[in-house]
Amino acid sequence: MQARRLSGVITWRRGKVVSVGNRWSGAVTLKVALDHPIPGVDLPEIPALAYPELVGEPEIGHTVLLNVSALARGLGTGGYGLVVAFPDNLPPDPPSGPGHLVKARYTPLQTMVLGVDEQESDHHDLMSQVTTINNMPVVVADLHSALPAIIAGVREKAPEASIAYVMTDGGTLPAWFSRAVDGLRQAQWLSSLITVGQAFGGDLEAVSLHSGLLAARHVAKADIAIVTQGPGNLGTGTPWGFSGVAAGEAINAAGALEGLPVAALRVSGADPRPRHRGVSHHSLTAYRRVALAAAHVPVPDFLSVTPDLDAEIDTDIVANLRRLSSVIEQDVAPLFAPLGRHRRVDIDLTGLTTALHGSPVRLSTMGRGLAQDPANFLAVAAAGRYAGSLLST
């Protein structure tokens, strides 16, 4: 069968910057008046997002070239038009220097960075020699939204732990997109950020997840690494068509490097999609079918949850969590012997809602917060609590 040719895969618009809005590390929001409206988007001005390190600093009145494909299709990718260039105000050429690692390769916005593992790096000799992460716990999760909850769980057991976030390229490629990462860095909850594969914008850049984990341990001196994709999970409703399948490969990478893989379960009691209620099919596919290395799988004990009014966890929510417990038991059974290869670790959740309530950034997954879907955040925080406990053993 002849492949169908794609045309018009980007919806382009030109406009003028009318205001410059919020800014966080590596990113800035704008309001843009378009020269021509987007069909179906009835807005006189649209929100846009620029990465100044790629396109330069925006100013009011600048002409701006935008990719508005996600807005035109009604997708939820941040709800922004993405700045491709300020064509009349291009930034100066970057200074010459080391680094020839190209990320977002062969796209119009490919960018060149200094990789921690490349020959021009000060760390090249070290990275040429290290082959193990020396039993470092590596917590793996499907969704980026799990990151702050995992860290809350780690800190509850090991408040002084040095935590590295190793961001894979299944979601957004620029780490700058994540406001959660920026907030966690400002609160000193996150010690280092390492971007691997095609992802970029970290303190350290690495070619592969394997070298990223080695850099986390030996360059960033992390006690614990957390691996998950950046914001923007892609799913198709099919058994294998989701970007979180890479969670299984992350378990394999941690195992190959002699780390301690910890598989965080994606759990929900509120997701309207049956395939994600209880333990999501994403976790079951990634950990049962893809992960060939044995992992520790923390199973949250929802029977141990008590009301926490500060975290908006009332008696009705507690009752719902306890009903969910039997569903979880059935879902996780294939991960463990005799059918599976992983090690089950039951986690008491007493006090964990208090730890989650102390997060310096908003807890949100698929638009739901802690009170709307506590099972989700408690399950991944349980993985963090377990990983933190490994540091004292």
Cβ burial 132-171 (10 Å sphere, 16+ → b, else e)? ebeebbbbbbbbbbbbbbbbbbbbbbbeebebbbbbbbbb
Domain end position, chosen among 85, 116, 138: 85
Residue 110 domain-assigned? no
Same-domain check for residues 220 and 320: yes
Q: Please report the pLDDT score of residue 1 as a whole number.
A: 46
Q: Which two tokens stand for residue 343?
A: 């090690």
Domain end position, chosen among 70, 85, 100: 85
Structural domain count of the chain: 2
For the entire predicted model, the pTM comes to 0.93
Q: Please report the pLDDT score of residue 276 as a whole number.
A: 75
pLDDT along the chain (393 residues), means of 10: 59 96 96 92 89 96 94 75 96 88 91 94 97 98 97 97 97 95 97 97 97 98 98 85 92 98 93 80 94 98 92 91 94 95 97 95 92 95 98 80
Q: Please report the pLDDT score of residue 78 as a whole number.
A: 62
Same-domain check for residues 65 and 140: no
CB 305 within 8 A of CB 353: yes
Domain span at residue 337?
124-390
CB 113 within 8 A of CB 188: no
